[in-house]
Amino acid sequence: MLKSKIVVFTVIICCLLYSGVALAQKPSLTTKEIVFKMIKTIEDLERLKYSLKIIERGKKGYNHYESSVKLNRKPRKIYLYIKGIELLWVSGWNNNKAFVKPNSFPYINLSLDPLGFLMRQDQHHTLNEMGVDYFGGLIEYMALKNGNRFDNYFKLEGEERINNRPCYKVIIDNKDFGYETYTIGENESITSIARKLHISEYMILEVNPKFKDYFDILKKGQTIKVPNAYAKHVTLYIDQLYFLPISIKILDDKGLYEQYDYHFLQVNPKIDDAEFTKQYKDYKF
């Protein structure tokens, strides 16, 4: 009798252990499923908190930035903290200008155009691209553009722990990356061309140094040099829990073009409306 009880007990334990192992195993996903699940997650996103580390190739070498970010997507609201500098931008508020507390002269709060030179300077992107929507849109365009050739460009290279998070490592390899001639149409600017072609406006200026401004209307019929894609090579780390990009490394024909790393990511956290006002108790505007 005792022996039969031991046998039954052993069988139960084995079943429990086996079921536990089965539950612990992640379902196997294809590269396409991972990429499009990320795109869908970005579309459904409401709010984010994170720390962002940026490396961007600039005019005099590589620029490094770090910031803490609170982001509400709809309506779009942004709070940034960068080494004593505070920035608040809320859609429809303050004439759609960013409210900025600088950490240097003139030591007074400023209202600045998010697209203007003082805000952008040598940076690749503006407040409009803050968050994950912009790169999510670019990756979706790459995936849809390549259609049946998806697997020729997108590769799943296993799993890695990045920024202290378990991630899928996805490589986007565009062996056809290069430059071509573009003829300027009616009322086009560097930025409108970049949005139309899904490429980087900073890269357009980089290869056409005679132009200085992103928004000046260019002369119709004039020709410029443009990249035929946003990047030659992308290393994309997608968080296995959140299915959001947590690290994006982008290369062109010259090498590293830009890299973005998201740390301490909080997805859809509770953020009080007061945290997007200049009167919030923790801010020093």
Q: Secondary structure of 259-281 in the HEC alphabet?
A: EEEEEEEEECCCCCHHHHCCCCC
Phi/psi at 284 (5° precision): -125, 35
pLDDT over 80 at 7, yes or no:
no
Task: Give residue 27's pLDDT.
Answer: 65
Distance CA 98, CA 90 (A): 8
pLDDT over 60 at 3, yes or no:
no
pLDDT over 90 at 232, yes or no:
yes
pLDDT digits (tens, 9 = 90+) for 33-91: 999 999 999 999 999 999 999 999 999 999 999 999 999 999 999 999 999 999 999 99
103: pLDDT confidence band, cut at 50, 70 and 90?
confident
Task: Give residue 15's pLDDT.
Answer: 45
Which DSSP category does 127 fall into? G
Task: Give residue 212's pLDDT.
Answer: 87
Q: What is the residue extent of each domain of the chain?
A: 31-66+129-178+229-267
Give the architecture (CATH level 2) of 31-66+129-178+229-267.
Clam (2.50)
Mean pLDDT of 118-126: 94
**Cis peptide bond N-terminal to 75, omega within 30:** yes
